[in-house]
């Protein structure tokens, strides 16, 4: 076994049954790392001789380890649910990230992570967060893959009773060949008498929630380890990625006859959308709290949570911070603590505001502008027990893995988005010149479904996309608290669409070949009652489907692009078992430039990306739901951000919402361009918006939902 193979197996081993004491698998040995003796104090002996698979080199101390900073990590006890929106929890988690990143080599880090004084002593959620973050951030770990978060913590995705069914499965000792997967009911959290349940397939989708976890993992609120500067346009990405979630969610709501999400900004009003998650941790002992209808936000005072003072704030604080942020938006500038003024201009204003509102370490003045977005998550997740006098756990809004399950997530983020939209309204509308590209005409655009085994018709109708359900297998046995020698599988049902392609006819009337950026968006045409949207409304519903660069030769060109090449999405994640079967044999070059690796071997950063199976909204049953498909051509020469060898960068396949690892965001335009700001007052329709721009073309397409299983991929 090569070092790399061993390390990949060690990573998978470390993420198995994290709530239990660590147990190395046969053939995987961890060695107590020599390096720790340089920077630790040895106390609290743990006898490793009784731990098979945990070896002690001759020169290393044998009596256990005590890294002083681990005391800080342990301020969040094992078993407690973890919130990366909570400052005290973050201190604990980032401290462990730093410990892992400070290990001289990846091998040292993995050995340290396996030590019982680390693995078995720190909070299991923090352990997974910290090891994942360190693996992503360490350049020398770029060849290693993380298993999917829903297999590490199935309790954050699947209802409690799945655990007992799994246990029965194991006790009955069925052979794998005869073992039926556990069926996950896609309506487990509520019945259809709950109106909001119509879109639970979106809120509770495992790919969508995994994406949200990954996004917050790679864009931490504060610096971890040696990171000092934020990733490029991090604050703007915070705005844009969440704005796109809202646009996508609203499209699902409209398709299901529901009104668009309303902003949650009146914090004295009761929240009428209840949510009962029915989730527990691996052994079923700790549950995520439910939130009945009618609760009102209360001041938070939880002294036993996190570092020193725990967490305490008043809803008044949120109101004060909101006022200060709005003041900054309408004055056009924010003031740093040292008095320096930062103008909110059209180039960096959104980014500055994003850091301020979220609020991250890179906020211009966190004391003055506060911690608005993060504390909103905290206030909602403890709304049922705001001082924990009932010792209740938090609700799902506290954890980035689970927050998107709750309807209030979207209302809270609609409020957050409204702050950005107020800023965008202060910017000059795009001029006709900014919206045109000399010499390039997009003559036509259409979509065509690809033929499938289910649908072998050779010439499917154009401008029609079919959606339906797909069943996928998820492995549960690595995330449960009991050991099983045989796979325990669950079958989950999620939305899927048939593959399709864009065909864009474009004429280049210049004399030279041009590199053109194609920007493709999709938005519903009418609301749930069939009333057509004004352009001002529809602009906010535009969903980015793809953005790509093509060389266009003089004369007529036909550009074809497949839906699964989208710059927004990533494929379904690989299971623990897939990763074990496909451990990388050779490391990547330093800096992580892949040479010939297939997509599913790329680094952990690839875990960030909208799930491919949710590229397009569900649509409506026959005859389908009408959408506007929008294609715009802009100049790559003007939009390009010099990124070296663009085509070779890691994980650029979901760059639109996640950026590119260690690189600048690969597009100079504001995220969401050209829909990121309101048009001129005189422009009331999309047709008017594009009338002077031959480089833009729209067409009407339909998305038709068929309430049946479609087989886009072979069944696993
Ligand atoms: Cu992603 Cu509020 O930021 O959940």
For residue 47, CA distances in Å to 64, 106, 115 come to 7, 24, 11
Question: For residues 152 and 18, what is the distance between their CA atoms, to the nearest angstrom?
Answer: 8
Give the span between the Cα atoms of 463 and 183, in whole angstroms: 34
- CA–CA separation, 636 and 552 (whole Å): 11
pTM of the model: 0.92
Return the ligand 1 atom nearest residue 403 CA.
4
**What is d(CA 168, CA 125) in angstroms, rounded to the nearest whole number?**
26
The whole-number pLDDT of residue 319 equals 98
Print the SS3 string covering 234-252.
HHHHHHHHHHHHHHHHHHH
Averaged pLDDT score across all residues of the chain: 87
Residues 6+ apart with CB under 8 A from 637: 515
Work out the percent of the chain whose per-residue pLDDT is above 70: 85
Residue with the nearest Cα to atom 4 of ligand 1?
400
- From the number of C-beta atoms within 10 Å of its C-beta (0-12, 13-18, 19+), residue 38 rates as exposed
Q: Is the pLDDT of residue 650 over 70?
A: no
Question: Facing residues of 408 across strands?
Answer: none
Torsion, CA 351, CA 357, CA 361, CA 365, rounded to 10 = 100
Q: Is the pLDDT of residue 304 over 80?
A: no
Q: Quick check: 506 pLDDT over 80?
A: yes
User: What pLDDT score does 512 carry?
Assistant: 97
Q: Give 453: exposed, middle or buried? Use CB within 10 Å, 0-12, 13-18, 19+.
A: exposed
**Ligand 1 test: best mutation among 246, 403, 415, most atoms within 8 Å of CB?**
403
Q: Please, which residues have CB within 8 angstroms of residue 76's CB and are 6 or more apart in sequence? A: 82, 88, 89, 92, 123, 126, 305, 306
Beta-carbon-side half-sphere exposure of residue 172 (alpha carbons within 13 Å): 14
**Tens of pLDDT, residues 449-465:** 876 655 555 577 899 99
Average pLDDT over residues 174-201: 79
Mean pLDDT of 360-364: 95
377 within ligand 1 shell (Cβ under 6 A): yes
Burial of 92 (0-12, 13-18, 19+ CB in 10 A): buried
pLDDT per residue over 149-159, tens digit each? Answer: 999 999 999 88
Is the CB–ligand 1 distance for residue 677 below 6 Å? Answer: no
Tell me, using a 6 A CB cutoff, whether residue 403 lines ligand 1: yes
Handedness of CA 137, 141, 143, 146 (dihedral sign): negative
**Residue 63 — very low, low, confident or very high, per pLDDT cuts 50/70/90?**
low
Span 268-289, average pLDDT: 90
Contact at 8 Å (CB) between 42 and 113?
no
Q: Taking residues 312-333, what's their average pLDDT?
A: 97
> What is the pLDDT, as a whole number, of residue 600?
41
| pLDDT given at position 644 | 55
Most confident of 62-71, 181-190, 551-560: 551-560
Is the shortest distance between the CB of 166 and ligand 1 below 6 Å? no
Q: Is the pLDDT of residue 601 over 70?
A: no
Closest CA to 660 of 646, 674, 639: 646
Q: Which of 541, 513, 515 is nearest to 526 (CA)?
A: 541
Q: Tell me, using a 6 A CB cutoff, whether residue 214 lines ligand 1.
A: no
- 189 versus 65: which is more confidently predicted? 189
Best CA proximity match to 137, nearest among 666, 646, 605: 605
Q: What is the DSSP string of 431-490?
A: PHHHH--TTEEEEEEEEEEPP-SS---SSPPBTEEEEEEEEEEEE-TTTSSS--SS--EE
CB of 221 sitting under 6 A from ligand 1? no
Pocket test for ligand 1, best of 400, 406, 407, 412 (most atoms within 8 A of CB): 400
Beta strands in 261-387 (DSSP E): 300-302, 311-313, 333-335, 341-343
- How far is CA 223 from each of CA 372, 427, 534, 582, 607, rounded to the nearest angstrom? 19, 31, 42, 33, 20
Judge whether 189 and 586 are in contact, CB under 8 Å. Answer: no
Question: Ligand 1 centre and the CA of 57: distance in Å?
Answer: 44
The predicted-structure confidence for 410-448, as pLDDT tens digits, reads as follows: 999 999 999 999 999 999 999 999 999 999 999 999 999
Distance between CA atoms of 66 and 43, rounded to whole angstroms?
6
pLDDT band at 572 (very low <50, low <70, confident <90, very high): confident
Q: Which residues of 254-275 are buried (b: 16+ CB within 10 A; e: fewer)?
A: bbbebebbebbeebeeebebbb
d(CA 379, CA 393): 13
376 has pLDDT over 90: yes
**Given this model, what pLDDT does residue 52 score?**
62
Coil, helix or strand at residue 66: strand
With a cut of 90, say whether residue 205 has pLDDT above it.
yes
Q: Which residues, 6 or more positions from 587, have their beta carbon under 8 angstroms from its beta carbon?
A: 4, 143
Catalytic residues: 358
């Amino acid at each position: 076994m090569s070092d790399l193979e061993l390390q990949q197996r060690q990573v998978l081993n470390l993420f198995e049954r994290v709530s239990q004491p660590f147990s190395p698998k046969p053939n995987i040995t961890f060695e107590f790392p020599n390096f720790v003796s340089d920077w630790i104090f040895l106390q609290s002996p743990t006898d490793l001789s009784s731990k098979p698979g945990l070896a002690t080199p001759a020169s290393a101390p044998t009596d256990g380890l005590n890294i002083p900073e681990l005391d800080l990590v342990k301020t969040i006890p094992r078993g407690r649910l973890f919130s990366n929106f909570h400052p005290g929890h973050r201190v604990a988690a980032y401290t462990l990230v730093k410990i892992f990143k400070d290990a001289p080599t990846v091998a040292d880090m993995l050995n340290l992570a396996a030590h019982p004084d680390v693995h078995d002593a720190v909070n299991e959620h923090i352990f997974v967060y910290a090891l994942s973050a360190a693996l992503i951030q360490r350049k020398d770990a770029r060849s290693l893959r993380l298993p999917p978060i829903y297999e590490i913590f199935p309790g954050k995705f699947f209802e409690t009773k799945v655990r007992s069914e799994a246990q029965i499965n194991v006790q009955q000792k069925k052979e794998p060949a005869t073992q039926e997967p556990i069926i996950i009911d896609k309506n487990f959290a509520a019945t259809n008498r709950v109106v909001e349940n119509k879109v639970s397939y979106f809120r509770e989708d495992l790919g969508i929630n995994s994406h949200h976890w990954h996004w917050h993992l790679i864009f931490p609120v504060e610096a971890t380890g040696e990171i000092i500067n934020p990733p490029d346009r991090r604050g703007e990405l915070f705005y844009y990625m969440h704005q796109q979630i809202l646009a996508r969610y609203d499209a699902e709501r409209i398709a299901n006859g529901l009104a668009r999400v309303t902003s949650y900004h009146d914090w004295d009003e009761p929240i009428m959308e209840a949510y009962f998650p029915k989730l527990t941790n691996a052994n079923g002992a700790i549950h995520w709290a439910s939130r009945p209808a009618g609760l009102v936000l209360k001041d938070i005072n939880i002294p036993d949570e996190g570092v020193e003072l725990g967490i305490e704030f008043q809803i008044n604080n949120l109101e004060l911070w909101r006022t200060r942020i709005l003041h900054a938006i309408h004055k056009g500038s924010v003031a740093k603590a040292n008095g320096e003024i930062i103008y909110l201009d059209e180039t960096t204003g959104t980014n500055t505001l994003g850091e301020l509102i979220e609020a991250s370490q890179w906020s211009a003045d966190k004391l003055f502008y506060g911690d608005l977005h993060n504390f909103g998550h905290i206030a909602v997740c403890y709304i049922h027990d705001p001082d924990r006098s009932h010792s209740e756990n938090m609700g799902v809004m506290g954890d980035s893995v689970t927050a998107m399950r709750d309807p209030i997530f979207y209302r809270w983020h609609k409020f957050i988005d409204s702050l950005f939209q107020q800023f965008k309204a202060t910017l000059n509308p795009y001029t006709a010149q900014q919206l045109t590209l000399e010499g390039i005409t997009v003559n036509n655009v259409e979509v065509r479904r690809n033929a499938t085994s289910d649908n072998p018709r050779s010439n499917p109708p154009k401008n029609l996309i079919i959606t339906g359900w797909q069943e996928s297998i998820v492995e549960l046995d690595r995330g449960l608290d009991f050991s099983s020698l045989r796979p325990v599988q669950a079958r989950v049902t999620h939305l899927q669409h048939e593959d399709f392609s864009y065909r864009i006819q474009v004429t280049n009337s210049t004399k030279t070949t041009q590199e053109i950026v194609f920007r493709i968006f999709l938005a519903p045409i009418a609301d749930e009652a069939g009333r057509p949207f004004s352009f001002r409304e529809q602009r906010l519903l535009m969903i980015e489907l793809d953005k790509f660069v093509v060389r266009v030769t003089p004369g007529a060109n036909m550009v074809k692009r497949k839906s699964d090449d989208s710059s927004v999405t990533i494929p379904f994640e690989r299971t623990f078992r897939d990763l074990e079967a496909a451990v990388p044999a050779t490391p990547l070059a330093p800096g992580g430039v892949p040479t010939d690796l297939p997509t599913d071997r790329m680094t952990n950063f690839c875990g960030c990306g909208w799930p491919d199976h949710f590229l397009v909204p569900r649509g409506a049953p026959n005859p389908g739901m009408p959408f506007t498909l929008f294609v715009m051509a802009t100049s790559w020469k003007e939009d390009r951000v010099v990124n070296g060898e663009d085509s070779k960068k890691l994980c650029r396949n979901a760059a639109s919402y996640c950026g590119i690892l260690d690189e600048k965001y690969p597009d100079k335009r504001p995220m969401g361009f050209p829909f990121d700001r309101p048009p001129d007052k005189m422009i009331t329709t999309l047709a008017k918006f594009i009338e002077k721009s031959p480089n833009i073309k729209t067409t009407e397409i339909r998305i038709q939902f068929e309430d049946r299983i479609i087989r886009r991929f072979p069944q696993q």
